[in-house]
Amino acid sequence: MTVTRNEIIPAWYTKKWAQPFLHAVAWITLFSLPYLLRPSPDKHQGHRQEDPLWHIHFIINCVLLTCCFYINSNVLIPRLVYKKKWWQYGGVLFLMLIIQVLVRWIFVNLFISSEEFDLKPTIFFSFFTLLFILACSTTWRIVKDKVEAEQMASDRENENLKTELSLLRSQVSPHFMFNVLNNMVALARKQSDQLEPSLIKLSSLMRYMLYETDEDKVGLDKEVDYLQSYIDLQQQRFGAKVQVNVNLQLPENGYEIEPMLLIPFVENAFKHGTGMIPDARIDIELRARQGLLQFSVMNKYNEEFEEVKDKTSGIGLTNVKRRLNLLYRDNYQLLINKKEGWFVVSLQLHLH
């Protein structure tokens, strides 16, 4: 396989096997140090050989410390430290220390009869050993989260740049624009009273696309106004050929949303819900209550007829899903299905 300059070869440490491999090497190196750095016994002094049970105790202690590392990084840090539950966090750490001391006490009293259990040195040694492991665990988790956050921000920026270019070039399809302009020419010839409001709607639509979408977030009311202007112009374009039912309800709360997030669903409905479809109908509903946005778009479709669309007629639902994943992660639910001649899109979004 030939690799060109434009192809990006991922670094080996980003592969799935790399992280477990590096962790395994780190643990093996760390727990081998007591053996590697231990001084050689002096044969002339007749040192006794160590009891093999101490090696078993060392292995169990290493397993316990490893468990403490991952419990702290994967459970305690995200669930307690990030949520500032300091008392619960301190209690769990104290329990870890008790377990370390208790394991040594069991081994000394039940298996190592030749040696007495000394509490103070055991607590001292276990405390600083556990403190070192927890410090490494906390540092690793914080660095890992920071790297992931930076990567997410980078992915989001790149995706927004791609989306912005696609939206500026193709969000409102050329066919739609040409038809709207032709309708306005017809209204001008007839000297219709509908010409001025139609021009105002088209002007607000273009203004929103070119200027308002530069912000990270916009007011939900602005996004809905844009949707309404788009729908009104589409209704003017299709007239009585398509039944459009619209119910856009807004609360008084000043919710914000990512710009141009909802329009692809509406455009998709007009793109695939018109044409060779008997009794064409599109239902659009939006409501926002208690921080939850519920948005649904339904359109009839004809399975026997798939209209061929040009390549510049929207960014597609696949890209919208990608954008939702980057922008809202676990704070949304998107359902898309076909049933009984209807194409249904339902979006639930937790607003910040």
pLDDT at 349: 92
CA distance 277 to 280: 5
Q: How far apart, in Å, do the first and last CA atoms of the chain sit? A: 47
CA distance 286 to 346: 10
Question: Cβ distance 292 to 348 under 8 Å?
Answer: yes
> Using the 8-state DSSP alphabet, how is residue 303 labeled?
T
Per-block mean pLDDT, blocks of 10 residues, the chain (352 long): 38 60 70 62 45 69 84 86 87 87 77 65 81 87 86 78 56 59 78 80 78 75 87 81 89 80 85 81 91 91 60 57 80 89 91 75
Beta bridge partners of 338: 343
CA distance 115 to 106: 12
Which of 108, 119, 20 has the alpha carbon at shortest distance from 61? 108
pLDDT at 245: 92
* C-alpha separations of 59 from 56, 104, 209 in Å: 5, 12, 63
pLDDT at 169: 44
- Please report where in the chains the tokens 């308002």 appear, as a residue: 212
pLDDT at 9: 43
